[in-house]
């Protein structure tokens, strides 16, 4: 579905178009990605309410320009929610998207019903080598994220290989400027703690036990600043937990925010 924000086209996956009284699930992707990062997770649900999964400006099929920082992305999201008629949103953000969700909840508390923050930490500094590689458009930037962003199981199987390939594909579909813009935005955002204290809605942190980019220990520090929050850890998952273990991540969301999420799809064999 297409929306118009600041006279620029926004592409979004939209399921059961927003507009009702129930909270809309709004999925916010991470750095250098698009709404496609949520596909494996969304397929694990059968009874979800309305869904809105946008491509941020300059990402995926949305028009530019890129937004330079987390605050600008949150301001843009406020406008998108208004344009899409979303009165109450459950914001589900991964990595950079989690920071955008946090900032948006503090800015417009009346419109945000709850938060689910995946792969998040109180601060999210980016390794200098990764920043330089992304700025130079070096393909190694993608490989660094692929390597650091996934767990390293002792016996990797087809699912792990598929997750790695999906991450590489999503990141490679963006022009280099997009990845650097997003990584710099994460690196520069240092006010998560002071933003968190302004949030009253329910918050669920979903963390990967093997996350090397935003370690679970760093994510749990946010609990000290949130009034109404809990954390769930996905055993064996890295930073890309919704791609690595989509069903386990979906289960964590279902039990952590039962007012927003419906049933799980049956197990497949």
pLDDT reading at 243 higher than 50: yes
List the domains of the chain with CATH numbers.
2-256 (3.40.50.1820)
Confidence (pTM): 0.94
pLDDT tier at 21 (50, 70, 90 boundaries)? low
Q: Give pLDDT tens digits for 66-119.
A: 999 999 999 999 999 999 999 999 999 999 999 999 999 999 999 999 999 999
Handedness of CA 64, 187, 163, 221 (dihedral sign): negative
Give the residue from 205, 204, 217, 215 showing the smallest Cα distance to 238.
215
Give the residue from 60, 59, 87 showing the smallest Cα distance to 73.
59
Residue 120 tokens read as 């998040």
Q: Give pLDDT tens digits for 123-182.
A: 999 999 999 999 999 999 999 999 999 998 655 667 888 999 999 999 999 988 999 999
Q: Give pLDDT tens digits for 26-81.
A: 999 999 999 999 999 998 886 767 899 999 999 999 998 999 999 999 999 999 99
Count of positions (residues) in the chain: 269
Residue 64 tokens read as 């530019």
* H-state helical runs in 85-175: 96-107, 128-135, 140-149, 158-172
Specify whether the CB–CB gap between 187 and 131 falls below 8 A: yes
- The CA distances from residue 213 to 25, 80, 219, in Å, are 25, 29, 11
pLDDT reading at 263 higher than 60: no
Residue 262 tokens read as 């419906």
Dihedral of CA atoms 124, 51, 37, 177 in degrees, nearest 10, equals -60
């Amino acid at each position: 579905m297409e929306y118009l924000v600041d006279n620029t086209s926004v592409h979004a996956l939209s399921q059961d178009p927003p507009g009702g009284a129930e909270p809309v699930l709004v999925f916010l992707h991470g750095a250098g990605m698009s709404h496609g990062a949520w596909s494996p997770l969304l397929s694990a649900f059968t009874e979800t309410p309305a869904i809105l999964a946008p491509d941020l400006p300059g990402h995926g099929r949305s028009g530019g320009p890129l937004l330079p920082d987390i605050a600008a992305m949150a301001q843009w999201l406020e406008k998108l929610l208004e344009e899409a008629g979303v009165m109450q949103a459950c914001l589900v953000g991964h990595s950079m998207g989690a920071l955008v969700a946090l900032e948006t909840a503090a800015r417009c508390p009346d419109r945000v019903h709850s938060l689910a923050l995946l792969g998040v930490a109180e601060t999210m500094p980016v390794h200098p080598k990764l920043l330089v590689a992304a700025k130079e458009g070096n393909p190694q930037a993608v490989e660094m994220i692929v390597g650091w962003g996934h767990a390293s199981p002792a016996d990797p199987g087809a699912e792990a290989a598929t997750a790695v390939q999906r991450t590489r594909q999503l990141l490679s579909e963006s022009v280099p400027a997009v990845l650097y813009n997003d990584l710099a935005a994460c690196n520069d955002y240092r006010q998560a703690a002071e933003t968190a204290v302004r949030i009253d809605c329910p918050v669920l942190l979903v963390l990967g036990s093997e996350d090397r980019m935003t370690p679970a220990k760093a994510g749990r520090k946010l609990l000290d600043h949130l009034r109404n929050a809990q954390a769930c850890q996905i055993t064996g998952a890295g930073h890309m937990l919704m791609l690595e273990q989509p069903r386990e991540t979906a289960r964590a969301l279902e039990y952590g925010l039962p007012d927003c999420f419906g049933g799980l799809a049956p197990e497949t064999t």
